[in-house]
Structure 1
């Protein structure tokens, strides 16, 4: 991939121009913008949101985004939205094998398939977890998601993501965060696969650090925003918009990637998960998995996230007299998990890169029989978990699987058998 320039810092007020003198000085919307450009504001928060929470970017573009033809419905049976599109499912732990690439040439939009949903984008609550596959690039085609922001987690194949503000190159081990309402397209260099969190609620932000202090977890400077870059080639574009839970398509005679300059704090980002500063026990016991939170979308109840993005990257285990994998637990939060590479320490067999699992609210889960036996008898010398990257989309609301997830898409009907060997070892010494 070619080397791109980026701007550093999550939530910063960034400014960039592809042609010198394109950014207005001292005002946002002058009577005449330099170079004959149009001023356009993209707001990611209500105008009267507190200053610290206000997200917006001013775009200076060759034609405003209002110049687009009328929309008509676009069928897409694999893409679902909100709790209304879920199906009834028992309170069982669920796991899916790695999703196969779809047959024939297909781009990122065509390759989206929804596994689990909750909430309602019109009520601005909840999320959906999708998987994607792609074998071809989106050429003269752009995607705009008006229902939520998108967190993309590649598992196989690097992505080149062109946005209205510039270009991001994102490889497995990295993530991309794309704001609600911003046009983008995805190019691939070969068969590609991964996961997507569609967040209907409050925009993702960095979690508070509390007693951890001012340093640790994901550092703001490691989030990279693009620099301004516009597409000069003439020609028509298809605009695919996700709006109200379904897809719509329109045709316009020019590119949407025509922003010559911009400034603001509502920007797309890429982040390399290897830069995550892992916090863990250096004495005994296993801390809560909240210490692995990269980004959080808060809800109206403090501490109860609409959705958290949590990773389990390479790290040292040093705790003494401690069962080191995650303990068995039931949780009010619902957990959708995926694996990008290597093994997950609580499921050494069965859970493969590209696969997924769902442990809903109050559904018991934890290490399988093999992991329990190994961890219970392991030498507790310092040990590094290496070549691994798992993640969770964790949400306060129950996640409903889709019909696609429940019908012949790799659902492992024998998943619960991985705990069958956990026998009663109680020894009554009375």
Structure 2
């Protein structure tokens, strides 16, 4: 399948799958072309400021009230929402090996496993961090999440996301942002697929302000891609699953809900290739704050403090003088959920592998393991290139509570804390610092 995209983040787009399906100028949607129905899909309050307002007009075969009959409760027990109902996990640093994909047939929705939750889904604050695992496509099976937008980070396998707005395909080293409330289904393009999800309950993800960096660097808006209109006119028995208020519901309908023939607006899904990120780094001394690696940020309402930051650690030149290259040891106000897509992470070359997870919660110390510290302390401080690596971080101002599933899973590394055992006391008060 050849896919076509429009470029830009947060742009006003207009796209139609049939000529003339979009009304022009003052043409009234009272009698739409092709017998379509006009419908507005809003991701913010009607009165949100212009810079924040998000909405799209959809022109569809049936209005969405025909896609959403009375829903009956269902159970997806391993997909959790905040606030957490589990508090027995110990306090400390955590790391997990990759969680294995089930042998039984598992779709995207059925294969989501929650690792942490933060905040409250009912207060529209905080987030949840999940993994997804699937080996089966969603045939005549559709889903929408009223609780938050979903940031997908593939680690293994390719996905095709068939949405109300069109079709997006993603693979490892790409990401996709699915708006709150949008209907979609997921097609598995390989034998199996696995990745990570940040479910954002709060304000929408946006590009970070660049501040002193200036006009260039980080993620450029033009590298984000939005699908062109595509639609299904299919009369087959289908099921729709909804996530609403932290619970799950399902209904049956007799047709596909992906029936939008044309749309215009700025509330739509996007994909982004992480390889397009313009990394900024130090050219003198000291490792900069991880904020310089921010791809997307979701504001909290408190200036300078995000509800969520999505940061990446891509291939890059390490250029600095007379300094320790990896991230320094630190404690901070943010809680950091990390995953690895490929290669090695420079501060944890052993034990943290693609598909793995680490969690360093707010005010708990972390930093390079003993191996990483020793290697960095002896390294030649000539320019170095980190190749074939891609780690990422879901960082939030709120504590991330580990779920019962994650706390008791076999993939949890019980000895993770031992990675710092080799950091021995080196202090000698009689030796002056070399200058």
- TM-score category, normalised to shorter length: over 0.9
Aligned to 2:32: 33
Alignment partner, residue 349 of structure 1: 350
Q: C-alpha distance in 2, partners of 1:19/1:86?
A: 50
- Written as runs of structure 1 = structure 2, the 5 A alignment for 1:207-356 is 207-356=208-357
Equivalent in the alignment of 1:120: 120
Secondary structure of the equivalent of 1:357?
strand
- Name the CA shift for 1:113/1:28 in 2 (closer, same or farther; >3 Å): farther
| TM-score, scaled to structure 1 | 0.98
Which consecutive residues of structure 1, in runs of 5 or more, have no partner in the other structure? none
Q: Is the 8 A contact 1:86 1:118 kept in 2?
A: no
Aligned-residue offset at 1:300: 1.6
After superposition, the CA RMSD in angstroms is: 1.0
Q: Which residue of 1 aligns with 2:159?
A: 159
- Find the aligned partners of 1:323 and 1:101 in 2 and give their Cα distance: 38
Contact 2:84 2:401 in 1 (8 A): no
After TM superposition, the structure 1 = structure 2 runs for residues 139-218 of structure 1, keeping only pairs within 5 Å, are: 139-189=139-189, 190-218=191-219
Q: Secondary structure of 1:248's match?
A: strand
Residue 372 of structure 2 is matched in structure 1 by: 371
Which residue pairs with 1:391 in the alignment?
392
CA deviation string 1:106-139 (max 9, x = no partner): 1100100000001112211000000010001011
> What SS does the aligned partner of 1:126 have?
strand
Check the 8 A contact 1:284/1:322 in 2, yes or no.
Answer: yes
- State the distance in 1 between where 2:145 and 2:410 align: 25
Q: How far apart in 1 are the matches of 2:27 and 2:171?
A: 35
The C-alpha deviation readout for 1:142-194, integer Å capped at 9, x for no partner, is 11000000000000001000110000000000000000000011101221000
Secondary structure class of the residue paired with 1:373: helix
- Please list the CA deviations of residues 34-62 of structure 1 after superposition, one character each: whole Å capped at 9, or x if unmatched: 11000011100000000110000000000
Whether contact under 8 Å (2:127, 2:198) holds in the other structure is: yes
Tell me if the contact between 1:86 and 1:116 (Cα under 8 Å) persists in the aligned partners.
no
Gaps (5+ residues) in structure 2?
none
Q: Secondary structure at the match of 2:187?
A: strand
Output the CA distance in 1 between the equivalents of 2:118 and 2:180: 18
Give the 3 Å change call, closer, same or farther, for CA 55–106 of structure 1 in structure 2.
same
Aligned equivalents of 1:175, 1:397: Cα separation in 2: 23
* Paired residues of 2:84 and 2:403 also in contact (CA < 8 A): no
Match of 1:49 in 2: 48
Q: 1:417 to 1:28 in 2, by over 3 A?
A: farther
Distance, in Å, in 2 between the alignment partners of 1:201 and 1:24 is 33
Aligned residue pairs, count = 429
What is the alpha-carbon distance in structure 2 between the residues aligned to residue 148 and residue 25 of structure 1? 32
CA distance in 1, matches of 2:123, 2:214: 34
SS in 2 for 1:51: coil
SS state of the match for residue 31, structure 1?
Answer: helix
CA distance in 2, matches of 1:197, 1:28: 40
Superposition deviation, residue 233 in structure 1: 2.9
Per-residue deviation at 1:234? Answer: 2.2
CA drift of 1:85 comes to: 3.3
The Cα shift of 1:27 comes to 4.2
Asked whether the 8 Å contact 1:28–1:58 carries over to 2, the reply is: no
Do the aligned partners of residues 27 and 419 (structure 1) sit closer, same or farther apart at CA in structure 2, a change above 3 Å counting?
A: farther
- How far apart, CA to CA, are the structure 1 residues paired with 2:373 and 2:199? 34
- In the alignment, the residues of structure 1 paired with residue 428 and residue 167 of structure 2 have an alpha-carbon distance, to the nearest angstrom, of 62
Compute the displacement of 1:28 (Å).
7.9
CA contact (8 A) 1:86 1:117 kept: no
